[in-house]
């Protein structure tokens, strides 16, 4: 059986050594030494100003919205994971959906301005599949209309634009360290910002708003993560390069073997260094996609229609009309299996099966 993804696991001994320290210290959570070490290591590796290790990527989004004190309407993308949208609603704001660009599959900056109203407070965009949004165009619009910008960078760990981390764009970027993501801590998330005031807000928000044991600084939540999760992150940290290299090898193999397959890959930001988090392809039509899914399934191979169906129309708490490209692309897009332990031979098999469907 070949699933769409499998989590990377470090050698068990590496994790055991870190567990040994946890047992010795008896410090299990609340910004323990491993959580701090993970933050320091990631800050240095990613070359970003401020980073907080939090419970998960969803809490990270909610903390970002809270820290920026957003109200009213938030312009966002319909082509993302549900957490992007639900966080907006959970924080009592209204998501306003702007269609995606049919080539990059990211929010189309040219359509943002038409959606801005007097109630708009921010833009919350997703770097879909780790492909950077047009961050320059979005920054220009945000500056002109005095809007805040949050990037849901859950897919974008390690991605660079013009030689700098993708996390350096917008007021706040968030990331997910969930087990299915490229770099993970089992469950986990990150908030990243250049602004030390926002860091202070979010550091307090993460810890119930506590300012010492008897005082409170702001409205907080429990956004902390545990030493066990930090240990998983630290054990995986040593393999980031190996994970990257293996995924690049598999991605290049797919590219080569699918040269003659009639599906296209999203158009990548031209000044970016990718992270090979996913292998999405957009089919010419849904019919061929469904045939391929069935044939792969018959051979015990499982990709994922990611993202399908298009978000707003599938959410019972949102009333909105489907948007043209998000709706159309979500019917035709498919992510092929991609994970550290996948072999080149398995990629070859997947590609052979896809080509057989097409050429039948």
Ligand X SMILES: *Cc1c(COP(=O)(O)O)cnc(C)c1O
Strand partners of residue 172: 150, 193
The residue length of the chain stands at 360
Q: By the 8 A CB rule, do 289 and 193 touch?
A: no
Q: Which of residues 186-205 bind ligand X (CB under 6 A)?
A: 189
Residue 51 tokens read as 């980073």
Q: Which stretch binds ligand X (CB under 6 A): 29-37, 152-160, 208-216, 268-276?
A: 152-160
Q: Which of residues 61-90 bind ligand X (CB under 6 A)?
A: 80-81, 83-84
**Should residue 56 be labelled a site residue for ligand X when binding is judged by CB under 6 A?**
yes
**Should residue 106 be labelled a site residue for ligand X when binding is judged by CB under 6 A?**
no
Nearer to ligand X, 116 or 226 (CB): 226
Contacting residue, 18, 52, 57, 106, with ligand X by CB under 6 A: 57
Q: Taking the complex as a whole, how short is the minimal distance between the CB of residue 180 and ligand X, in angstroms? A: 7
Q: Which is it for strands 272-273 and 160-161: parallel, antiparallel or unpaired? A: antiparallel
Q: Taking the complex as a whole, how short is the minimal distance between the CB of residue 58 and ligand X, in angstroms? A: 4
- Cα–chain center distance at 281: 18
Q: Which stretch binds ligand X (CB under 6 A): 149-157, 201-209, 317-325, 340-348?
A: 149-157
| Distance (Å, whole) CA 162 – CA 270 | 9
**Should residue 229 be labelled a site residue for ligand X when binding is judged by CB under 6 A?**
no
For the chain, where are the alpha helices, taking DSSP H only? 12-25, 33-46, 57-67, 82-90, 135-145, 196-206, 227-237, 240-257, 286-298, 311-314, 324-332, 344-359
**Should residue 330 be labelled a site residue for ligand X when binding is judged by CB under 6 A?**
no
**Should residue 173 be labelled a site residue for ligand X when binding is judged by CB under 6 A?**
no
Where does this chain bind ligand X (CB under 6 A)? 56-58, 80-81, 83-84, 126, 152, 154-155, 176, 178, 189
């Amino acid at each position: 059986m070949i699933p769409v993804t499998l989590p990377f696991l470090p050698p068990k001994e590496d994790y055991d050594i870190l567990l040994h320290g946890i047992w010795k210290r008896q410090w299990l959570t609340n910004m323990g030494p491993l959580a701090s070490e993970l933050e320091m290591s990631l800050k240095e590796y990613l070359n970003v100003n401020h980073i907080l290790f939090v419970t998960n990527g969803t809490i990270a989004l909610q903390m970002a919205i809270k820290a920026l004190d957003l109200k009213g309407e938030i312009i966002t993308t319909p082509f993302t994971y549900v957490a992007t949208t639900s966080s907006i609603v959970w924080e009592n704001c209204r998501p306003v959906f702007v269609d995606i660009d049919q080539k990059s599959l990211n929010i189309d900056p040219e359509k943002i301005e038409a959606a801005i109203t007097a109630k708009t407070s921010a833009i919350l965009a997703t770097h879909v599949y780790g492909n950077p949004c047009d961050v320059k165009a979005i920054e220009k619009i945000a500056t002109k209309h005095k809007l805040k910008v949050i990037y849901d960078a859950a897919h974008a760990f390690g991605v660079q634009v013009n030689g700098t981390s993708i996390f350096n764009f917008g007021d706040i970027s968030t990331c997910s360290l969930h087990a299915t993501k490229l770099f993970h801590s089992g469950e986990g998330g990150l908030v990243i910002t250049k602004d030390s005031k926002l860091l202070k807000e979010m550091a307090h928000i993460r810890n119930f708003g506590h300012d010492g044991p008897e005082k409170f600084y702001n409205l907080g939540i429990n956004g902390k993560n545990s030493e066990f999760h930090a240990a998983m992150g630290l054990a995986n940290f040593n393999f980031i390069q190996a994970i990257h290299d293996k995924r690049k090898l598999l991605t290049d193999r797919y590219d080569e073997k699918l040269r003659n397959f009639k599906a296209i890959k999203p158009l990548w930001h031209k000044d970016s260094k990718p992270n090979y988090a996913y292998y999405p392809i957009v089919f010419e039509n849904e019919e061929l996609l469904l045939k391929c899914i069935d044939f792969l399934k018959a051979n015990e191979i499982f990709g994922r229609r990611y993202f399908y169906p298009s978000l707003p129309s599938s959410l019972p708490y949102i009333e909105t009309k489907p948007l043209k490209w998000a709706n159309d692309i979500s019917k035709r897009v498919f992510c092929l299996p991609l994970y550290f332990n996948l072999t080149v031979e398995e990629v070859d098999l997947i590609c052979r099966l896809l080509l057989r469907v097409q050429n039948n």
